[in-house]
Amino acid sequence: MATQTAPIFDTDELVINMGPQHPSTHGVLRLVLKLDGERVVDCDTVMGYVHRGIEKLSENRDWTQIILLTDRMDYVAAATNNLGYCETVEKLLEVEVPRRARYIRTILAELQRVGSHCLWLGTHAMDIGAMTVLLYAFRERELVLDLFEEYCGARLTYNSMRIGGLPLDIPSGWDQKVRAFCDVMEAKLPEYEELLTNNRIWVERTRGVGVISGPDATALGLCGPPLRGSGVYRDVRKDEPYAAYDEFDFEVPLGTRGDTYDRYLIRLEEFRQSIRIIRQALDGLPEGPIMGKVPRLLKPKAGETYHAIESPKGELGYFIVSDGRATNPYRFRVRPPSFCNLQGLKPLIVGHLVADVVCLIGTIDIVLGEVDR
Task: Return the pLDDT at 99.
Answer: 93
Per-residue pLDDT tens, the chain, 373 aa: give them: 445 555 555 567 888 888 787 766 677 888 898 988 888 898 888 888 889 899 999 999 999 999 999 988 888 889 999 999 999 999 999 899 999 999 999 999 999 999 999 999 998 888 888 888 899 999 999 999 999 999 988 888 888 899 999 998 999 999 999 999 999 999 999 999 999 988 899 999 888 888 999 899 999 989 989 999 999 999 999 999 999 999 999 999 998 898 999 999 999 999 999 999 999 999 999 999 999 888 888 888 888 999 999 999 999 999 999 988 888 899 999 999 999 998 888 998 988 888 888 888 888 888 888 888 8
- Tell me, what CATH number does 261's domain have? 1.10.645.10
Is residue 234 domain-resident? Answer: yes
The residue range of the domain holding 152 is: 71-341
Residue 18, H or E segment: strand 14-18
End-to-end Cα distance, the chain? 63
In sequence order, what are the residues at sequence separation of 6 or more whose Cβ sits closer than 8 angstroms to the Cβ of residue 293? 95, 96, 164
In terms of DSSP H, where are the helices of the chain? Answer: 54-58, 66-71, 78-93, 99-128, 131-152, 174-196, 200-206, 214-220, 225-228, 236-239, 260-283, 337-342, 345-349, 357-364, 368-372
Phi and psi of 137, rounded to 5°? Answer: -65, -40
205-186-25-38 Cα dihedral, nearest 10 degrees: 0
State the amino acid at position 142 in one-letter form.
E
In three-state secondary structure terms, 308 is: strand
CB 138 within 8 A of CB 276: no
Is residue 170 domain-resident? Answer: yes
Q: How far apart (Å, rounded) are the C-alpha atoms in residues 230 and 105?
A: 29
Q: How far apart (Å, rounded) are the C-alpha atoms in residues 253 and 263?
A: 10
Task: Return the pLDDT at 27.
Answer: 73
At 334-368, the pLDDT tens digits run: 999 999 998 888 998 988 888 888 888 888 888 88
Pick from 181, 186, 253, 258: which is nearest to 220 by CA?
258
| Cβ count within 10 A of residue 96 | 12
In terms of DSSP H, where are the helices of 209-259? Answer: 214-220, 225-228, 236-239
| Cβ count within 10 A of residue 251 | 12
Is residue 288 domain-resident? Answer: yes
Is residue 34 domain-resident? Answer: no
Is residue 62 domain-resident? Answer: no
In terms of DSSP H, where are the helices of 42-173? Answer: 54-58, 66-71, 78-93, 99-128, 131-152
Phi and psi of 295, rounded to 5°? Answer: -65, 150
Q: How far apart (Å, rounded) are the C-alpha atoms in residues 193 and 116?
A: 18
Q: Tell the burial category of 324 from Cβ atoms under 10 Å away from its Cβ (0-12, 13-18, 19+).
A: exposed
Q: Tell the burial category of 295 from Cβ atoms under 10 Å away from its Cβ (0-12, 13-18, 19+).
A: exposed
CB 304 within 8 A of CB 319: yes
Residue 36, H or E segment: strand 30-36
Is residue 314 domain-resident? Answer: yes
Q: Please count the structural domains in the chain.
A: 1
Is residue 362 domain-resident? Answer: no
Task: Return the pLDDT at 262.
Answer: 92
Is residue 313 domain-resident? Answer: yes
Task: Return the pLDDT at 109.
Answer: 93
Task: Return the pLDDT at 1.
Answer: 45
Which residues are bridge partners to 44 per DSSP? 32
Task: Return the pLDDT at 24.
Answer: 67
Q: Which long-range contacts (CB under 8 A, 24 or more apart) does 165-171 make?
A: 165/97, 165/98, 165/101, 165/289, 165/290, 165/291, 165/292, 165/294, 166/101, 166/104, 166/105, 166/290, 166/291, 168/290, 169/100, 169/104, 169/290, 170/104
pTM, to two decimals: 0.90
The residue count for the chain: 373
